[in-house]
Structure 1
Amino acid sequence: MDLQDKVVLVTGGSGGLGEQLCYEAAKNGAIVVVCARRINLIGKVKEQCERLSGKDAFAFQLDVAQPESVEAMLNKVQTEIGRIDVLINNAGFGIFDDFVSFDMAKAYQMFEVNVLGMMVLTQKVALMMLESNSSGSIVNIASMAGKMATPKTAIYSATKFAVLGFSNALRLELKPANIHVMTVNPGPVATHFFEQADPSGNYLENLGNFVLEPDKLAQAIIRGVKKHKREINRPHLMQVASQLYTLFPHVGDWLAGGLFNQK
């Protein structure tokens, strides 16, 4: 898939991986639509995308947990741009804590953002693609936590397991319409995500070389979009561990509760 002049919409695009995905899409000649709640930050991302692509870019405020916000944003897209060729569902957050003491109000919020809001937006964009009889791509940023849960990620892992299950079924449903669905399962990425997930900062420090750089991961994701890959898993060692988890559950529990349990 050539991204030249394609419209790429990225949620959670105000910083971290989402911001880097916007820049990488722009470098490939895409018309980038930056969406996030933090309207004070998406303007600078839009401007940098325009510098990188030499094309117009757009910035729209979006709270994926609010259906009316999704509707308002898509109305602006249809009015000002007209279509979406690639949707990258990147918005999400996590909190690492023991389940028995977890604030269930936060659990509801996590499902609203990571799962339900993503589904609402994806359904509307998929319908737009189907109605225009155009091919397209949908990218859902899941997590290695959706393949191999570790202690203190019960709620977060549950949301990402849901994203994976949803994506796998959606891929089969949309394939006849030439709409491609790709899932991305990263391990820990060096972004502001962990300011909320693990305020102590110990998790990233303990993981060392397992931590991914957002710009390099963004490059791999955009390459995956262009090549219509089914799934991207990083880092590779965690991918191997997740496969062991499926094939040898007892070994998987040992890895999840030991080597990869750094919280």
Structure 2
Amino acid sequence: MNSKIQGKTIIITGASGGIGERMAIKAAESGANLALIARRTPLIDGLAAKLRDQYGVKVVGYPLDVRDHEAVAKAFREIKAEFGPIHVLINNAGFGIFKEAHEVSFEEVKGMIDVNVLGLMACTGEVLPIMKEQGYGHIVNIASQAGKFASPKSSAYSASKHAVLGFTNGLRMEAKRYGVLVTAVNPGPIATDFFTIADESGTYVKNVEKFMLNPDKVADKVIHALFTSKREINLPRWMNTGSLFYQLFPGVIETVGNRFFFKK
């Protein structure tokens, strides 16, 4: 529970499943009103109805593909008209494909960049002027440990998350002047349906299943951090330690960990 978000309006993209759905539930438990964005209309509408009935908060689903920038602008205008002030944006929409660089198609690379990076930027661009005028707000960008530490079979996905972290770090310094908080969330592998696309063979999930994060715990960490000055949320801690060591000793880590990295 986070009493700071009671009665506040929170937008969550990619809210129809995985940690997006879990964050929506946790936020509704804390009394927040929600604008939920996702491509899958039946799922987003079903979740909105469930949360309204169970928690008595205002929840509206907005079917939207964040790759469509004109549709993003239209949807955010509708959200502003429906809810008024927007207090939190959680940019969660994203996907990954784990293939070696010569195997991933240009269309797949473009898809990841369009959703993970440009869609995130488009949504941020819509709320930032609102939050600037209000003098407060919180933007949370779901990145990845892959954005800190690239590994084989995730070169394109890691590139997209590197971009998210670069954007987030710059945005944080810009937004601070207006009273707007910015947090990056860098999880390792989470036990969600993310891997139905990222890992079609199931090999990666099989190899790292015992290390996978519980989506409810990740969601709880994010919701609990809202309206705090948390710069980053890094999960799990041991993986983030590995990312820090990689930044200091990249050659050593690449040599020692080479066999493990190819478990994707």
Q: TM-score range by the shorter chain?
A: over 0.9
Task: State the partner residue of 1:126.
Answer: 128
- Cα distance change of structure 1 residues 90 and 255 upon mapping to structure 2, 3 Å threshold: farther
Whole-Å separation in 1 of the counterparts to 2:232 and 2:23:
16
Amino acid paired to 2:149: M
Q: Say whether the 8 Å CA contact 1:241–1:255 is kept in structure 2.
A: no
Distance of 1:202 and 1:47 partners within structure 2 = 36
Please say if residues 33 and 57 of structure 1, whose CA atoms lie closer than 8 Å, have aligned partners that are also in contact. yes
Give me the whole-angstrom Cα distance separating, in 1, the residues matched to 2:226 and 2:83: 21
Q: Distance in 2 between matches of 1:174 and 1:7?
A: 19
**Would the aligned equivalents of 2:132 and 2:179 in 1 still touch at CA under 8 Å?**
no
Q: Does 1:40 align with 2:42?
A: yes
- Structure 2 letter corresponding to 1:194: F
Q: How many angstroms apart in 2 are the aligned matches of 1:45 and 1:246?
A: 40
Distance 2:31 2:135 in 1: 19
1:95 aligns with 2:97: yes
Offset at 1:17?
Answer: 0.8
Check conservation: 1:189, 1:212, Cα contact below 8 A. yes
Q: Which amino acid aligns with 1:114?
A: N
The 3 A distance-change label for structure 1 pair 178 and 36 is same
Are 2:152 and 2:261, in contact at CA under 8 Å, matched by a contact in 1? no
Q: CA deviation at 1:173?
A: 0.3
User: Which residues of 2 match residues 25-104 of structure 1 at below 5 A?
Assistant: 25-104=27-106
2:155 maps to which residue?
154
Cα shift at 1:260: 4.2
**Cross-structure match for 2:115:** 113
4+ residue segments displaced more than 4 Å? none
Q: Residue 207 of structure 2 corresponds to which residue in structure 1? A: 206
1:194 aligns with 2:195: yes
Query: Is the 1:7–1:83 contact (alpha carbons within 8 Å) kept by the matching residues of 2?
Result: yes
**Distance in 2 between the 1:248 and 1:170 partners?**
28
Q: Provide the C-alpha distance between the structure 2 equivalents of 1:30 and 1:226, rounded to a whole number of angstroms.
A: 13
What TM-score, normalized by structure 2, do the two folds share? Answer: 0.95
Q: Residue 2 of structure 1 aligns with which residue?
A: 4
Q: Which runs of 5+ in 2 are unaligned?
A: none
1:255 Cα offset (Å): 5.4
Q: Which whole-Å CA distance do the structure 2 matches of 1:226 and 1:207 have between them?
A: 33
Other-structure match for 1:175: 176
> Can you list the C-alpha shifts for 1:187-209, whole angstroms capped at 9, x where unaligned?
11111111010111121121132
Q: Count matched residues.
A: 262
Aligned partners of 2:138 and 2:227 also within 8 Å: no
Cα distance in 1 between the residues matched to 2:51 and 2:256: 40
Give 1:76 deviation, angstroms.
1.2
Letter in 1 for 2:124: T
Q: Which secondary structure does the structure 2 equivalent of 1:2 belong to?
A: helix
- The residue number in structure 2 matching 1:165 is 166
Gaps of 5+ in 1: none
| Correspondent of 1:13 among 8, 12, 15 | 15
